[in-house]
Structure 1
Amino acid sequence: MVSSYRSIVSPKTLAKFGAAFALAAAILYGFIPESGYGEKNRILLTGSSTIAPLAAELARAYEKAHPGTRIDVETGGSSRGISDIRRGLADIGMVSRALKPTESDLVSHLVARDGVALIIHKTNPVDGLTSDQTSALYTRKIANWSALDGPDQKVVLVHKAQGRSTLEIFLKYFGLSDDDIRPDVVIGDNEQGIKTVAANPSAIGYVSIGTAETAIEHGASIKLLHLDGIAASTALVADGRFPMTRALNFVTKDTSSPKAADFIAFAQSDSADALIRSLAFVPPKR
């Protein structure tokens, strides 16, 4: 969901006095976000599209236990989560990676763990790739699936947009630079990546394992690839065997508001574990 804003100046007044008055009034009085940030009984989370479905389910459970509280969840990537917290535009940022040294002004709160894995169309006979093969695909050194005992079809590279933590994890793991990659399709969130690959038998992309497993359960025409001989699964993320994993964090400033702190405590409690598993993520070890 993308925030929209409403002016506290009435439409009749705007029409009467024109744009000049409207601008002055906007500067003087500001705007009220419909998402509810800053209101007493509302909590706004923004950021990672990977975490958003989990945050939304946690929000529903919290709202049920706390009548009168409303929690809004908005996506836009981990970079937005960081930016919004720093600018005071959200109560909690959603960031699907560890904080960087340059982000030491913020505090991360581990909610769950996840893996990042490669996906292809389910009709493609390739079952797995090595790290070297993956790098060769994304740098166009391998351009046809036949080189990997797949169909005689040109490889269609699906890549993540800047600002997405999945992109950063992918590049770091395979030792690549974004400049090394010339993708056919650039996507934002995991759902876009899954839909793109499911619609193209020649495509390859990389997404959250938890999100991919859930999509497959609901009939998506994709499959997860083994990486260096290790199956991409939530179970192997949980026991530490799958290599490309990440932390799913809520992020706040040094001192969070009491309402945000209470929701974070709920999300990190044992009672949230079943809900976390139901979305194919891994609860943190406590």
Structure 2
Amino acid sequence: MRHSTTLILAVAATLAVSGCGSGKEQKSISISGAFALYPLTVKWADEYKKAHPDVKIDVQAGGAGKGITDVLSGVTDIGLVSRALSPDEIQKGATPFSVTRDAVVPTISATNPLVKDIQATGVKKENFYGIFISGDVKSWSQLGFTSKDPIHVYTRSDAAGAAETWAAYLGKKQQDLKGTAVFGDPGLAQAVQKDPDGIGFNNIAFVYDPATKQPSAGVVPVPLDLNGNGHIDPDEAVYATLDQVTAAIAAGKYPSPPARELYFVTKGAPNPVVTDFIKYALTEGQKDVTASGYILLAPEKITEGLNKLK
């Protein structure tokens, strides 16, 4: 009995030291989800922690599907979601906060021998449909190019906002996309980069280097021939640099979809620590948006998000 009492007192003392030794309550925020929003969220977390060193923030990428599943099941405090929420998700308590905008762009390998021709003519929406949905377009020659090589199509294996957004541009759902399925934005970019005849799609954060503003990772964007005239007009030529494509998205020159808003999602009202971090993203954190290769929210969207937090 004496030993048990001593043990209980020792444990109590240990808990008192670990819980109160610093005089501060341990604070943490767990975040998971869309690859599209991951780089900017990491930047926000790093900057926020400079002013709030007592707050631990864990950010993990895994796709929009993982983000919404994790937050609704209580595994994380914030889900990163790169698509609009479904009515069912809203009914389950999902509360979205728009924090920035970006877009999905179709991509080919920088080693594709037709790069210059493809960039000059672009690809019509109906032909993207034939490549990714119906499967009727199987070779580059069917697009009017000299090569008779087959087109190797790549898509996402995970439930992804990028895939859902690209499919929405073609009037379909992610499950309708054809191609070899690859996990994650980095994996899809790498698969296309290694295949001279490959075509896929990526969030712009995984196509352009935010430092150089140039296409990176060995992939280049495929221009959308929006008016279907068989060549890229000056107002459609918006892909040379990150600044150029983000300006086009902000000005509405790039269609939506595949341009879209990106969301922090909580289950119901967030706790005070999470609330403060979301407020930071919508206010001070907006200074990092453009430099990180994303598009600023409209002022009314920021106001809408802040009002949700009250």
Fold agreement, TM-score > 0.5? yes
Q: CA deviation at 1:152?
A: 2.5
Q: Does residue 134 of structure 1 match 2:132? A: no
Separation in structure 1 between the aligned mates of residue 61 and residue 77 of structure 2, nearest angstrom: 14
1:181 and 1:164, CA in 2 relative to 1: closer, same or farther beyond 3 A? closer
TM-score, with normalisation over the residues of structure 2? 0.74
- Find out whether 1:188 has 2:183 as its counterpart: yes
Q: Cα distance, 1:79 vs. partner?
A: 1.5
* Aligned twin of 1:246: 260
Within 5 Å, which residues of 2 pair with 1:98-247?
Answer: 98-104=84-90, 105-122=93-110, 123=112, 124-125=114-115, 126-127=118-119, 128-138=122-132, 139-148=134-143, 149=145, 151-177=147-173, 180-183=176-179, 185-214=180-209, 217=214, 219-229=216-226, 230=236, 231-232=238-239, 233-243=245-255, 244-247=258-261
- 1:111 touches 1:248 (CA, 8 Å); kept in 2? yes
Where 2:135 maps in the other structure, the secondary structure is: coil
Task: Say which SS state the counterpart of residue 248 (structure 1) adopts.
Answer: strand
Q: Percent identity?
A: 27
Q: Which moved more, 1:53-62 or 1:66-75?
A: 66-75
Q: What is the CA–CA distance in structure 2 between the aligned matches of 1:73 and 1:150, rounded to whole Å?
A: 46
Paired residue secondary structure (2:293): coil
- Number of aligned positions between the proteins: 246
> SS in structure 1 opposite 2:200?
strand
Alpha-carbon separation, structure 2, partners of 1:75 and 1:228: 32
Q: Who wins on radius of gyration, i.e. which is larger?
A: 2
Q: Alignment partner of 2:208: what SS?
A: helix
8 Å contact kept, 1:211–1:280: no
CA contact (8 A) 2:26 2:54 kept: no
RMSD of Structure 2 on Structure 1 (CA): 1.9
Shift of 1:274: 3.1
Distance 1:241 1:152 in 2: 33
Within the candidate set 28, 46, 64, 1:78 is matched to 64
8 Å CA contact 1:135–1:176 kept in 2: the answer is no
2:207 aligned counterpart, secondary structure: helix
How big is the shift at 1:217?
Answer: 3.1
- Contact conserved, 1:113 with 1:284, CA < 8 A, in 2? yes
How high is the TM-score relative to the length of structure 1? 0.80
Give the letter aligned to residue 268 of structure 1. Answer: L
Counterpart AA for 1:242 = Y
Change (3 A) 1:115 1:182: closer
Where in structure 2 are the equivalents of 1:255-270 lying within 5 Å? Answer: 255-269=269-283
Amino acid at match of 1:142: V
Between 1:271-280 and 1:107-116, the stretch displaced more is 271-280
Q: Distance in 2 between matches of 1:85 and 1:109?
A: 13
**How many angstroms does 1:167 deviate by?**
1.4
Q: Which residue identity does 2:126 align to in structure 1? A: D
**Residues in 1 aligned to 2:158 and 2:186: alpha-carbon distance in whole angstroms:** 16
Residue 275 of structure 1 deviates from its aligned partner by 1.4
Is the Cα contact below 8 Å between 2:207 and 2:215 reproduced in 1? no
Question: How far apart, in 1, do the equivalents of 2:58 and 2:192 lie?
Answer: 30
